Every structure is written in C-alpha cells, then in structure tokens.
Amino acid sequence: MFEDWSRAPVSRRKRLPVGVKIAATLAIGSSILLTIRSAVADVETALPPEFFVSHLPVDFNTFGGGFPKGTIEDGAVYAWLTFVAINWPAMKGKRGMQDESLPFHAPTEARVWETYRARVEVYPGSGAPFDDSQRTADYGFDSPPHYIYDPARVGIYPGLQPGEIPACPGTAPSESVPLHNLDEPNHNNVHSGLSPKEPFPGQQILLESKANRQEYVYVASRGWYGQKSIAPAKKRTGEYVRTNLNTPPAGKMDDPNDTEFISFPVHTVEIKAAWRRLGVYDDPSRFLVSRVRYYKLWKNKPCYVDSSLADPKDRWGLVAMHITHKTPSAPYFTWATFEHVSSLVEPELGADGKPVNIENADGSYTEAGSRITDAFAPNLRVVPATAATPQKLLVDGTTTATEPGYGLYFRP
C-alpha cells in the first residue's frame, strides 16, 4: 500500500507551501531507501534507514533554521517524515499513539492517524465531547468513537441520544463503530467515476476530517466545542493578526485558562481523508482498506451504513489525504497532500479491461494523459477572485456529465 502511495503522480500528491512539485519514490523491505527529486533542480537525496521514525518531525527543516530557511528538498523530507509518522502502527487501546515496538511496515489493525478523533467527536452537534468522569488530562480522548450531530437537523430517535443517527433499515449490527466517519459527501464537487453509482448519486468520493490529541484537548479544556461562545477570543485573535501581521503565540494545551486568543498548540495535526468504494477493476491489496461509516436518506431522514471488510461489494479504499501540521517555525500550519497512484485515470477502460493511468510515477503524463485536453467533463473555466468578488467556477456548456466512465468529472 505504501509503495503505491509513493509512486503516485507527485505533481498532485504534495502541495507544499513553497509551491514546487516534488517527485519521490519509496521502497519498504530489507533495505529502506527514500529518494527525493526536486522538479526545479536535478538533485537527489538518499536517506538512511534511520529516516523512518515513529514520531512527527520536531519542525520543518528542524536542523537547518526552520521554515524560513527551508529548501524544496527540506519540504519533501518534511512531508515524508510526517506521512511515515502518522502511518505508523497504532497502539491498541490508545488513540493517536504509535506502537514503537512495531516497525513501520508491520501489519496492524489501524495506523496512528486512523485513530484520531473525527471532526464531530471534537465538535459534537449537541452536548460535550466527554462526560464528567473524563475531566482528566486528555478529556477522554481514548474513548471509542461516538458520532453525535445537531438533533435539530438530524432528528431524535427512540432509544438513541439526541443527535445520534440510527442504522439504515436492513443494516446488520456492527461489532464496533468504525474509526472512519465519512460524513462529508463532496469536496468542491469533484467526484470519481470509479465509485459505483449507488448509493451515491454522481459516484461521489466521500471524505472525513480528523484531529489529533493536541487539538482535541485544547478545544475540550476550554469548552470551545459549541456550548461556550468563542466570539470574544475570536475577536481578540482577529485584532491581534491585523495589528501584528502575525499569528498569536501558540496556545498551551495543558492550560485551560489560556483563552485570550484562538491559537492551536504546536504539533496540532488535522487530517482530511478521501475514500471511495472500490470497484471490480480495483486491486484491494494496493489500497489502504478499512471499515467506514457512511450515510444515506431513509424517508428524508439520515441513517448510516457500516461497511464490512468481508463484503467485496462494499469495500472502501483510501484515495487521498491532506496532512496539516502546526510546527514551531510555521505556526500557520504546513500542508502536505498525497493521492493514490491510481486516482487519475482515463474515462474509459483500456484494451485489457483495466483502468488506464494518465500520469507516470514521476508525475509526468503517460501517453494516455498527453491526449487529454480538458480536465473535466463538461469543462470548467475558473474566474479568479478579486478584492470585491469571490472566485467563480463557470461550466462551459449546459449539460452535466452523465457518463463519466472511470475518470474524474465535475458535477455543477
């Protein structure tokens, strides 16, 4: 799975703050070697096995002066360090904690980032994300997942907590609540033709957002999860940024009285992960496959379905992820974006009956990719934002792509 991610078309894999494409290859086996190549300078950096460590990088360009003095190669090293750390095997019974007794490539029930809290576990639709017995140092961060929404929007059901969504009729009881709560149905209206048409109109990619222990404790300890207004702190933070042209000092995770500004502590990590149901032409062994929870409508009310690893018709694979990490020298968060090698394919199958990639491992176009003239069907025209108007996406033509095949398309 990790080799497939590393070979992904890199121009779309990591959008680093420096704004330059990076190409990288990763091999995991008896010898571990990471090779990084810059798109603007013909430079390669070979890193020793000690590169693969279970903890997040201390900083961006830790030993070279931090983010302000970082190079594009430093950016690539940082992105891979972060990717490796959050994909380390997770410790059983502890969410967001790496098991340092296991090597990176060891089989495991979950990787570290998978056990982070879902967005709605940090910011529930009603109530607090912990109970009175969990007013400890970590506010019950390690508790099993429990997804509570705004009861005014999702309804109230007999036997369930207000805001708790029931299982869809006919859904078999799950042995446990999945760690992946796919409650975000789209991202900028981009969908994948590789996902089956049902039960989602438009063959949607589904997304989730997650937060690590630092973010959760910072929010929970201050009551900033919905019941307590953050308006005063938000106003003071805005005034600080406008006056100082800088972010406020990083917040202190272990000091609930530190409420003057909203400023997440160093090493706060947020994850945005994109999943789709694997189709008949996908090889599950090339994906990170896990149980997920997704949502449907039943009589105009939401209900959930928990996927099963034993059901080949409802098997979900990870196709992309954003990793945002607040480092000491880049307090505005640093982003690293990865996508699966097989995410970008032609709309039609190849002669062998399999999807056709449009990018090579180094990010360059394949022969099929070089023939593509429009990125979307129907094609889009982007009108940049101005000081007075927001960005606009204009669709060329009036028809919606109803036969997207196996590629990506835009649904207005």
Evaluate if residue 37 carries a pLDDT over 60. no
Same-domain pairing of 182 and 285: yes
CA 345 to chain centre: 21
**262 part of a folded domain:** yes
Domain that holds residue 10: 2-86
**361 part of a folded domain:** no
Question: Which range is least confidently modeled, 126-130, 145-149, 201-205?
Answer: 201-205
**403 part of a folded domain:** no
Same-domain pairing of 219 and 329: yes
Residue 169, amino acid: P
Same-domain pairing of 197 and 82: no
Same-domain pairing of 250 and 311: yes
Same-domain pairing of 207 and 306: yes
Same-domain pairing of 127 and 79: no
Same-domain pairing of 125 and 47: no
**Residue 337 host element (H or E):** strand 330-339
**97 part of a folded domain:** no
CB neighbour list of residue 42: distance below 8 Å, 6 or more residues apart: none
CB neighbour list of residue 27: distance below 8 Å, 6 or more residues apart: 3, 33
CA-to-CA dists, residue 275 to 109, 132, 135, 196, 356, angstroms: 18, 35, 34, 12, 20
If you search the block for the tokens 């090889």, which residue do you land on? 283
Domain count, the chain: 2
Q: Express each pLDDT in 283-340 by its tens digit.
A: 888 889 999 999 888 888 889 999 988 888 888 999 889 999 999 998 888 988 888 8
Q: Express each pLDDT in 397-408 by its tens digit.
A: 655 555 667 776
Same-domain pairing of 165 and 312: yes
Residue at which a domain ends, from 339, 363, 383: 339
pLDDT score of 199 = 47
If you search the block for the tokens 């999943």, which residue do you land on? 275
pLDDT score of 305 = 92
Same-domain pairing of 326 and 251: yes
Rounded Cα distance, 140 and 370, in Å? 52
Question: How confident is the model over 339-343, as a mean pLDDT?
Answer: 79
Same-domain pairing of 205 and 295: yes
Rounded Cα distance, 325 and 250, in Å? 13
Evaluate if residue 111 carries a pLDDT over 90. yes
Same-domain pairing of 229 and 322: yes
**387 part of a folded domain:** no
Q: Express each pLDDT in 344-362 by its tens digit.
A: 788 788 999 888 888 876 6
Residue at which a domain ends, from 291, 320, 339: 339
pLDDT score of 82 = 93
Question: How confident is the model over 266-283, as a mean pLDDT?
Answer: 89
Question: How confident is the model over 13-26, as a mean pLDDT?
Answer: 31
**383 part of a folded domain:** no
